[in-house]
Amino acid sequence: MHPGIELANLSDVGCERTDNEDSLCYAEPEGADEFAKRGRLVVVADGMGGHQGGQMASQLATETVRDVFLHGDAADPSDSLIAAYQAAHEAILDYARSHPEYSGMGTTCTSAVLRDGQMFYGHVGDSRLYLVRDASIRRVTRDQSYVQQMIDKGLLTPEEAQTHPSRNVLLSALGSETSVEADFAQNPIPLQTGDVLLLCTDGLHGLVSEGEMLALSTSKPPRDACKDLVEMAKARGGFDNITVQILRIEGKASAK
């Protein structure tokens, strides 16, 4: 790993599931020239579909996004992410068509590319990307979910959404037969030394508050924070798979 960050990640099946349908990856080119051109990539994905279809969908998403990031056109990170998500969407659809037992599989996918001291992101579904800075935490992504739509319309409070029976209903997912409305950064977010990026699936953010994420990610090294956050979610039921990645910016070498 090139210098400039401290990274940790953890994925756990949770307390009730038998299969882990979450997937994650971190990628960076080995050579200095390619690293300067492409930067770093971090991804989390939460699959759905049953019969191991969700596991396959999330793996296809992370692998495809990584491959396009490492080998595709690197001129513009946003364009690279858009191409990566389109390729992942098509790969999942193609696999489901050739394996009918996986029909209906899909996945969330939340990604960040760090290059030249800036962050670019792509997002589908209800996994999340947070930016922790100056003792505060900000959710960068917006959930593409039924309950978030209800919150936006003033019909639900965020607290009510946490326990709403339709809280797991997504409006968009890679592999969906309907059109996919992915969100991409309109403008890159400048990064600072000491910033922390936290990516997670709903198995974590559904049971652990943003305040708790803030406290642990700023008071402990990323490895310990990941472990404690997962254990906290499991202690509260661990109803879903739980995945988290934490990346701390250590200096100017972080994305250049």
Per DSSP, 62 falls in state: H
**pLDDT at 253 > cutoff 70:** no
**pLDDT at 177 > cutoff 50:** yes
Q: Residues 61-75: pLDDT tens digits?
A: 999 999 999 999 989
Which residue carries 């992942």 as its tokens? 88
Domain boundaries, the chain: 5-142+171-254
Please state, rounded to an integer, the average pLDDT across all residues of the chain: 92
Distances (CA, A) of 59 to 56, 126, 151: 5, 17, 31
Give the confidence band of 212 by pLDDT, cuts at 50, 70, 90: very high
The tokens describing 210, both together, are: 């943003």
Q: Residues 79-131: pLDDT tens digits?
A: 999 999 999 999 999 999 999 989 889 999 999 999 999 999 999 999 999 99
Which residue carries 């910016």 as its tokens? 249
User: Would you list the DSSP string of 89-139?
Assistant: HHHHHHHHHH-GGGTT-EE-EEEEEEETTEEEEEEESS-EEEEEETTEEEE
Q: Please tell me which residue, 85 or 163, carries the higher pLDDT value.
A: 85
Cα separation, 119 vs 121, in Å, equals 7
Q: What is the pLDDT of residue 160?
A: 73
Longest Cα separation, the chain: 51
Judged by DSSP in three states, 197 sits in: strand
- This prediction's pTM: 0.92
Question: In percent, how much of the chain has pLDDT > 70?
Answer: 96
According to CATH, what is the number of the domain 5-142+171-254?
A: 3.60.40.10
| Strand stretches in the chain, DSSP E | 5-12, 22-27, 40-48, 106-107, 109-115, 118-124, 128-133, 136-139, 183-184, 189-190, 196-200, 242-249
